[in-house]
Amino acid sequence: MLTVILCLTTLIFPGAAIVLLLPKHILNVAQKWSLSFGFGSAVVTLELFLYFVIFRLAFSQVLVYFLIIQALVSLGLVIFKIPWQRQFIFKVKKVNVIAWLFGALIVLLLFFSLVQALGKPPVAFDNIAFWGMRAKILLTDHKINFDPHAANYLATFSHSNYPWHLSFLEYWWQVLGASGGELNLISWLYFVSLLIIVGDFVIRRLGTAKGLLLTLVLASQPLLFYHASNNYADLIIGFYAAAAFIFLFQWLEKGRHSDLLLAAVLVSWTICVKNYGIFYILSFLFVLALSYFSKLHKQNIKQWFFTGLALFLPLLPLALFKIIFHLDLHNTQASYGWHPEVFYPFFQVLFISNDWNIWFCAFCVMMVVLVPRIRRDKKLIIAWLGFLSVIAIIVVIFLVTENYQWALDHTALSRAFIPVVPISIALIAFTLKDKNYGTLLS
């Protein structure tokens, strides 16, 4: 238990310090709670990336002391800055019986996913073969081997072009003494953070009961629930992508530049989690282009400059790493062709298999019903085109590249939609909003 507390302290408090240093009006309480773990984890893994990969240093106790001191300083800042008396206020009078039921079911799902996470070590195939393996190699070697002829080149036996975020998280937790099921808490905490930020967004737009119902729909998706305890990178990238699109939707709605900056930082980090984060970066840029040419919000040169910095600075170290070591985004030898046989696996994954219950069926029906509302609102048109661009990119990638094989054997097709589902739920709430309900936490 003390090991887990130490691990959480070194990740959550730096993230909490970041959100508390932002102007108070930018984030509400629920968003601060959600982003603390995500920001803190990104900061620590970026520091480890700079230490081991960019500066090519070997492990030293100084690194441990630095990250622990960083956590303690952040803790002091949190204690000083946070208004503790307002952090746990729950508006009981505004929550009806149905909402209590939905909330209780969400908590129950979180409890079951926690039991499942702690009940087994991270033994899913991709974790053993890559994400966790890279952490174990680094633990054994104490540094990264940059000899291209070595078996453990770039601290891996395969997929040397993969990003480092999850591997460095597992490495850091193991350095602090975590093992077995404790490591699965990484993906579980991202699951909790995802539910908080999506739940807060839909509750503020649809009210407590309907918002919690949509949050329950998200929490109960079988594939998402499974990934809450297996330490794959897909749920993690889903958190950053969903959070980015939520702030992007808020920017489309209100035009606050702070929302756009947060969206840029978050979407930038998706590619530091997994290579297909580029899908969401391209979609983000597409939305910005649509907004610019449709003159939705006027941005001056200075604002566009800082948006560009927020988008490109977080991924710059990884981009330099890939350029220097001639690594691209392909997992296998690149090839291109026309593979219409993938259409049936798409249909099977989205509408027949048990991975997503009936969500995509319900989503398609709601999309058709909402077309008249969408057509009347420029910001909704842009939001939906941005979302559909993500779907289009995924379809094209599996349709015309070597990735078609992973669609035919279902290795990666359904997982590619993990970030799409929370974004689609947030988009439905964004479209249906008719007034401000306020957040569940004050």
Alpha helices, DSSP H only, in 294-377?
Answer: 301-312, 316-324, 343-347, 359-369, 371-375
- Whose tokens are 């002091």? That residue is 76
Per-residue pLDDT of 188-232, as tens digits, reads: 999 999 999 999 999 999 999 999 999 999 999 999 999 999 999
Which tens digit of pLDDT belongs to each residue from 95-128?
Answer: 688 999 999 999 999 999 999 999 988 888 888 8
Q: What whole-number percentage of the chain has pLDDT above 90? A: 80
Query: What average pLDDT is seen over the chain?
Result: 92
Domain ranges in the chain are 29-59+113-432
Say how many residues make up the chain.
Answer: 442
Task: State CA 184 to chain mean position distance.
Answer: 16
CB 63 within 8 A of CB 138: no
Q: How confident is the model at residue 89 (pLDDT cuts 50, 70, 90)?
A: low
Q: Is the pLDDT of residue 440 over 90?
A: no
Give which of 410, 385, 386, 384 is closest to 398, Cα–Cα.
410
Q: pLDDT at position 442, please? A: 39
Q: What is the pLDDT of residue 88?
A: 55
Q: Report the alpha-carbon distance of residue 411 to residue 390 in Å, rounded.
A: 20
Convert 270-291 to b/e letters by CB count within 10 Å (16 or more is b): bbbbbbbbebbbebbebbbebb
Taking Cα atoms as reference points, which of 135, 164, 8, 131 lies closest to residue 59?
A: 135
Higher pLDDT, 247 or 127: 247
Q: Provide the pLDDT confidence category of residue 141 given band limits of 50, 70 and 90.
A: very high
Residue 143 burial (C-beta neighbours within 10 Å; 0-12, 13-18, 19+)? middle
Q: What is the pLDDT of residue 426?
A: 98
Question: What's the pLDDT score for residue 284?
Answer: 98
Residue 185 pLDDT grade (very low, low, confident, very high; cuts 50, 70, 90):
very high
| pTM of the full structure | 0.96
Token output for 150: 């070595």
Instruction: Please answer whether residues 284 and 255 qualify as being in contact, where contact means their C-beta atoms are separated by less than 8 angstroms.
Output: no
Tell me the pLDDT tens digit for each residue of 360-390. 999 999 999 999 999 999 999 999 999 999 9
Does residue 253 carry a pLDDT above 80?
Answer: yes
pLDDT, position 242: 98
Q: Residue type at 350?
A: L
